[in-house]
Amino acid sequence: MKSNFSGSGWRNSVCRRREAGGRTGCRILPTVYYSLLTAYCILQLTSCSTPYFKNDYEDNSPTSGKLKVFYDEGLELHVKNQTFTFMSHYPNAKVELTSISENEAVQALYNDSCKLIFISRLLNENEKKVFQSKDLTPDYSGVAKSGVALITNVNTQIDSLTYPQVIDLLTKPFVCKDSISNNTKLSVLIDKKNSAVMHYLLDSILGGKPFSANCNLLGSSLESINYVAKNKNTIAFIDFAWLSDVDDSITKANKGKIKILKVGGSKGSVCELPNQTSFKLNTYPFTRTIYVIRRSGEFTLGKGFQTFVAGPNGQTSFLKQGLLPTKQQERSIQVNMEPAKRN
């Protein structure tokens, strides 16, 4: 008897005739049943493997999803390096970066335009009150030490400035003795309008006093570096983070063109260069801490990124790129005091 069914699902079905007790019956082998059972199992396995998190901006985990991060322009090289390293460790995490001024970054965090920011200060009291008005208590971690660096052309005949000289340089037309005792008039560049460096100089160094007409604002730190590389007797104030990594292309491109000035402390201490040692000993007068500030304490991708940057991997990256990490890995050294055995 030929089967009236056709198609791949029925191809192996056989209609068998059997005679038992004078009756004739027809039975189809359960191929269809097994096919349906297999499809059901696959469906169940697929649904079980569906991630708990949607992996978007709002519903994510510490190692997957999407995250918007705003940062001050002076920290660009280090923020990009930390982000690249984090996403290399966690391929399901997508971190989107936006360079912005320090105050704008805080405002963006408040407006929920981003979940995490990198800046070189903590929130001030007014900013804390504004966040509290929304029942928000931002979480933060100090992750590295940097500083404001004074750079100039290698042909400028000055290698160091005292703290009072820096104040004079910023507040009035400034003339000082160069290394061969000639009077040298210096002009000043500030990296960018409303930058973290500009606000730090106005608020923390000058105590609210205005800049003199001798100070000029450019459009970015890179513009300041490029201008100084071509013009002597000009001093630019930028974040040291731009030049901390000796292996970075910017540092290499300007080797032999610019130099960093030593600066003395406010109490007449020895002039120091910004570096990991002077940051650690707190002997460089313009040392600052880099903070990661998160909008809330929720267990999200922002938490994962913050923990990564403040953890061993992130801290090692800062160390290798010339900044001082706030946490150093402990090193255990065992010294054998027993005398060496003679043969």
pLDDT-derived band at 183 (thresholds 50, 70, 90) equals: confident
Residue 70: is its pLDDT beyond 90? yes
Helix axes 312-320, 301-310, angle to 10 degrees: 50
Residues 6+ apart with CB under 8 A from 233: 152, 153, 156, 184, 185, 186, 187
pLDDT score, position 25: 45
How far is CA 289 from each of CA 43, 69, 277, 329, 331, rounded to the nearest angstrom?
52, 18, 14, 19, 24
| Matching residue, tokens 């731009």 | 242
- Average pLDDT for residues 121-139, to the nearest whole number? 95
Residues of the chain with CATH 3.40.190.10: 65-145+290-325, 147-289
Whole-number percent of the chain with pLDDT over 90: 69
pLDDT-derived band at 297 (thresholds 50, 70, 90) equals: confident
pLDDT score, position 104: 96
- Average pLDDT for residues 3-25, to the nearest whole number? 43
DSSP per-residue letters across 192-224 = STT-HHHHHIIIIISTTPPPPTTEEE-S-HHHH
Burial category of 178 from C-beta neighbours within 10 Å (exposed 0-12, middle 13-18, buried 19 and up): middle
Architecture of domain 147-289: 3-Layer(aba) Sandwich (3.40)
Residue pLDDT, tens place only, 245-291: 999 999 999 999 999 999 998 776 799 999 999 999 999 999 999 99
Q: Which of the following CATH numbers is that of domain 65-145+290-325: 3.30.365.10, 3.30.420.40, 3.40.190.10, 3.30.230.10?
A: 3.40.190.10
- Average pLDDT for residues 178-205, to the nearest whole number? 87
Q: In whole angstroms, give the CA distance from residue 32 to residue 9.
A: 6
The pTM of this model reads 0.80
